[in-house]
Structure 1
Amino acid sequence: MTGKARRSMTIFLAVVVVFLTISLVLYPEQAFQAGTDGLKVFWDAVFPSLLPFFILSEVMLGLGVVNALGVILEPLMRPLFSVPGAGAFALSMGLAAGYPMDAVITAKFRRNKLCSRIEGERLLAFTNTADPLFMFGSVAVGMFKSPSLGMLLAIAHYISAFLVGFSFKFYGRRTERKEREEESFTRETRTDKKGRMFSRAILELIKAREEDGRTLGKLLGDAVNDSIKTLFMICGFIIFFAVLIRVLTEVGFTSLLSYPLHSLFALLGIDPHLIGPTLSGIFEIDIGASQASQVAAPMVQKFLIVSAIIAWSGLSVHGQVASVLTGTDIRMFPYIMARMFHAVLAAILTVVFYNLGFGNELAHTFFLPTLWSGVTPTSAHWLVSWTALKNWADLLGITIGLSLLVYVGSRFRRRAPSSR
Structure 2
Amino acid sequence: MKSKMKSGFLASAALFVAVALITFPKDALEASIRGIDMWWGTVFPSLLPFFVTAELLIGFGVVRFIGILFEPIMRPVFNVPGVGSFVWAMGMASGYPSGAKLTARLRQENQLTKIEAERLVSFTNASNPLFIIAAVSVGFFHDAQLGFLLAVVHYSSNALVGFCMRFYGKEKDPKPSYRAKGLTISRAFHELHETRLKDSRPFGKVFGDAIIQSIQTLLMIGGFIIMFSVFTALLHAIGLATLISNGIGVILVAFHLPTELALPLFSGLFEITLGAQMIANANVINLLPQAIILSFIFAFNGFSVQAQVASILAETDIRFFPYFFARIIHGVFASGLVILLFPYLYSNHALETNKFIPAFLSTETQGSFQLYTALQEYGPIITLASLFVAILILLNRIRYEKNS
Give the alignment's TM-score, normalised by structure 1.
Answer: 0.84
1:197 aligns to what? 184
2:203 aligns to what? 216
1:161 is the counterpart of 2:158: yes
CA distance in 2, matches of 1:20, 1:125: 30
1:53 is the counterpart of 2:40: no
Give the conservation status (yes or no) of the 8 Å contact 1:280–1:287. yes
1:115 aligns to what? 112
2:93 aligns to what? 96
Give the conservation status (yes or no) of the 8 Å contact 2:250–2:259. no
Structure 1 consecutive aligned stretches of length 4 or more whose deviation exceeds 4 Å: 359-362, 364-368, 381-384
Equivalent residue for 1:372, pick from 358, 364, 367: 367
1:73 is the counterpart of 2:60: no
Equivalent residue for 1:21, pick from 18, 39, 50: 18
CA distance in 1, matches of 2:73, 2:23: 55
1:338 is the counterpart of 2:333: no
CA distance in 1, matches of 2:329, 2:127: 15
CA distance in 2, matches of 1:383, 1:368: 23
Give the conservation status (yes or no) of the 8 Å contact 1:117–1:329. yes
CA distance in 1, matches of 2:378, 2:26: 33
Equivalent residue for 1:277, pick from 240, 264, 286: 264
1:258 alignment partner, SS class: helix
1:32 aligns to what? 29
Give the counterpart letter for 1:341 in structure 2: I
Give the counterpart letter for 1:168 in structure 2: M
CA distance in 1, matches of 2:363, 2:92: 13
2:252 aligns to what? 265
User: How far is 1:366 from its partner?
Assistant: 6.5
CA RMSD of aligned residues (A): 2.2
- The one-character-per-residue Cα deviations of 1:9-40 (angstroms, maximum 9, x if unpaired) are 11011111101110001111111111111111
CA 368–157 in structure 1, closer or farther in 2 if over 3 Å, else same? farther
Give the counterpart letter for 1:348 in structure 2: G
Equivalent residue for 1:229, pick from 216, 219, 222: 216
User: How far is 1:369 from its partner?
Assistant: 3.8
User: Which segments of 5 or more consecutive residues in structure 1 lack a partner in the other structure?
Assistant: 181-187, 385-420
2:126 alignment partner, SS class: coil
1:389 aligns to what? none
- The one-character-per-residue Cα deviations of 1:55-93 (angstroms, maximum 9, x if unpaired) are 001111110111111101111100110000000000000
CA 330–373 in structure 1, closer or farther in 2 if over 3 Å, else same? closer
CA 229–289 in structure 1, closer or farther in 2 if over 3 Å, else same? same
CA 15–264 in structure 1, closer or farther in 2 if over 3 Å, else same? same
CA distance in 2, matches of 1:215, 1:196: 30
User: How far is 1:348 from its partner?
Assistant: 1.2
CA distance in 2, matches of 1:329, 1:220: 27
CA distance in 2, matches of 1:383, 1:65: 31
CA distance in 2, matches of 1:220, 1:367: 38
Give the conservation status (yes or no) of the 8 Å contact 1:48–1:382. no
User: How far is 1:260 from its partner?
Assistant: 2.6
User: How far is 1:324 from its partner?
Assistant: 1.1
1:183 aligns to what? none
CA 382–202 in structure 1, closer or farther in 2 if over 3 Å, else same? farther
CA distance in 2, matches of 1:367, 1:159: 22
Equivalent residue for 1:172, pick from 165, 169, 174: 169
Give the counterpart letter for 1:310 in structure 2: F
User: How far is 1:149 from its partner?
Assistant: 0.7
CA distance in 1, matches of 2:200, 2:75: 29
User: How far is 1:376 from its partner?
Assistant: 6.3
CA distance in 2, matches of 1:72, 1:269: 47
User: How far is 1:43 from its partner?
Assistant: 1.9
Give the conservation status (yes or no) of the 8 Å contact 2:130–2:368. no
Give the alignment's TM-score, normalised by structure 2.
Answer: 0.87
CA 141–376 in structure 1, closer or farther in 2 if over 3 Å, else same? farther
2:303 aligns to what? 315
User: How far is 1:255 from its partner?
Assistant: 2.1
User: How far is 1:380 from its partner?
Assistant: 3.5
2:402 aligns to what? none
Give the counterpart letter for 1:17 in structure 2: A
User: How far is 1:381 from its partner?
Assistant: 5.8
Choose 37-46 or 315-324, whichever is displaced more: 37-46
1:130 is the counterpart of 2:127: yes
User: How far is 1:362 from its partner?
Assistant: 5.5
CA distance in 2, matches of 1:94, 1:305: 22
CA 83–280 in structure 1, closer or farther in 2 if over 3 Å, else same? same
